[in-house]
A and B are shown apart, each in its own frame.
Chain A
């Protein structure tokens, strides 16, 4: 059984956010919820400043605190290492969200996509209501809903349950790459079988010194980061006292 992992090359990543947008489209992610996100940091004082950008997603930890803590087994591991969530078993206790050290699990506080459920036209007698647009487009709640998502998970998760990245398990099942990987214009995301030494991810992890987020917690994340973009130069010296 392959063991899936992702390598994010920070030298190639330009922080365009295409991964996040692709993820939203592929997984019908509601507003206020981010399966694919980023952490940014600005350090230094002008003109010596630097902007750090780290894309984030569920780390699909080997020792996942969310899986260990879920009282009903709604959060579980697939044999291929992907951490999945079953909304049908979820009681909405939010312990996984509370317990996740990476802040990548979100709760549906209300019925998702409320805008597209509106039944009142924006301009009476002139425009359609948002729900009518969806109906005409033949969508499910959203006019642009992706039906493929429903293959392994409810296409749109109900209110009162959590949701998070699944490494696009429905695509991986069909030997397709996760959609954030597919959509990255800079090929900064590399996905594959970490148990295969010949896979691209294994080779990259051997070639560069990778790091993972909060490694000291022992969660063994399956998302690795390599390199870092830095075009800055400085004059060589030994400093001064």
Chain B
């Protein structure tokens, strides 16, 4: 028992240190400004924004999964519904933290409500994600009180599912609607983000469930039961959909002569490309899909765990590369002051923001498991 308490204490202590580091970073950002980031007037959005995209899309994926038992009537998944809703909320809170530290002047956020611009995709993105969080909150409250069949639970469940579908697509339009940057592929990015949401959300849930089972089980990890077949199937389908879209995007990128795409080809990848395909796509997308096809691997806990881990971390790398590659060349007169193609590596402060957001998410997961009876998994039972 003492060992379990010590483990819990170390875990909470580690999170506490990360959160304190994040608070210190926030204060420094207020004092010195975003000059602390390795962003500039060409690469205006950097790692904190890709963390936001990553967590927000994962959250949308989790919210979609949470609709399976409550909205689509798959009763055998009901035991997972409360946890899925809570994970979606906690993940979105991490995402909101990341984007708030990307903003230069978050003290003026009140104007988001007082002076809304309904033509702005950013406004819609913020509004839909906020609505998603509120509806998920109502749904969670209903589930927590055991009122999963109540009218408000059904309405909140339906609306949160609609928001979870809309939000990734609107996030895609934030990039896809830019006149300045053709390589975000216009409306195609909305579809890409929708499939990525399901892919990363499913990966996160599988990863989380496997970690919980491993922590709970007294038996060796490899003897633990595999994840429900529905989640496994959705994971495979979403991976296949993302692979198809990625192959299509890559084919267009390499065959077009639109100047922005020609410049994109000279973008230096953070990891060595394999046969012209970025390494993060190979490791974070192609490899998980191959692993998902191999039945013996998917029958072992470690196999499932590794597949989900590769997919989830790979999603972050894919989002980061897409975000940076689209901004890597200066527009107009900025070419006078910057190189033709810019390289980017995050600063220590940007890593701190990333750590802050993920720590908040993990803290909420831990507290949720401890106090909100999300399921049988209790990290504090270690």
Contacts and interface: CB of A to CB of B under 8 A. Distances in A.
Interface of A: 32, 34, 37-40, 56, 65, 68-74, 88-95, 97-104, 106-111, 158-161, 213-214, 217, 219
Contacts of A72: 108, 111-112, 115-117, 123
B120 A68 contact: yes
Nearest to B40: A109
A213 B126 contact: no
Interface string B20-36: 00000000000011110
B40 A95 contact: no
B340 interface: no
Nearest to A162: B104
Nearest to B327: A98
Chain A binding surface SS class: loop
A38 B336 CA distance: 8
A191 to B, nearest CB: 20
Given A91-B106, A94-B104, A68 B119 contact: yes
Given A89-B111, A99-B179, A110 B332 contact: no
Given A91-B106, A160-B105, A71 B117 contact: yes
Nearest to B41: A106
A10 B180 CA distance: 25
A120 B150 CA distance: 67
Contact of B116 (A73, A160, A217): A73
Contacts of B121: 69
27 contacts: A32-B41, A34-B333, A34-B337, A68-B120, A69-B122, A70-B117, A70-B122, A71-B116, A71-B120, A73-B117, A91-B104, A91-B106, A91-B111, A93-B122, A95-B122, A95-B174, A98-B45, A101-B179, A102-B332, A102-B333, A103-B333, A107-B41, A110-B32, A159-B104, A160-B34, A160-B103, A213-B332
Given A91-B108, A99-B179, A159-B104, A38 B333 contact: yes
A219 B179 CA distance: 9
Contacts of A71: 112, 116-117, 120, 122-123, 126
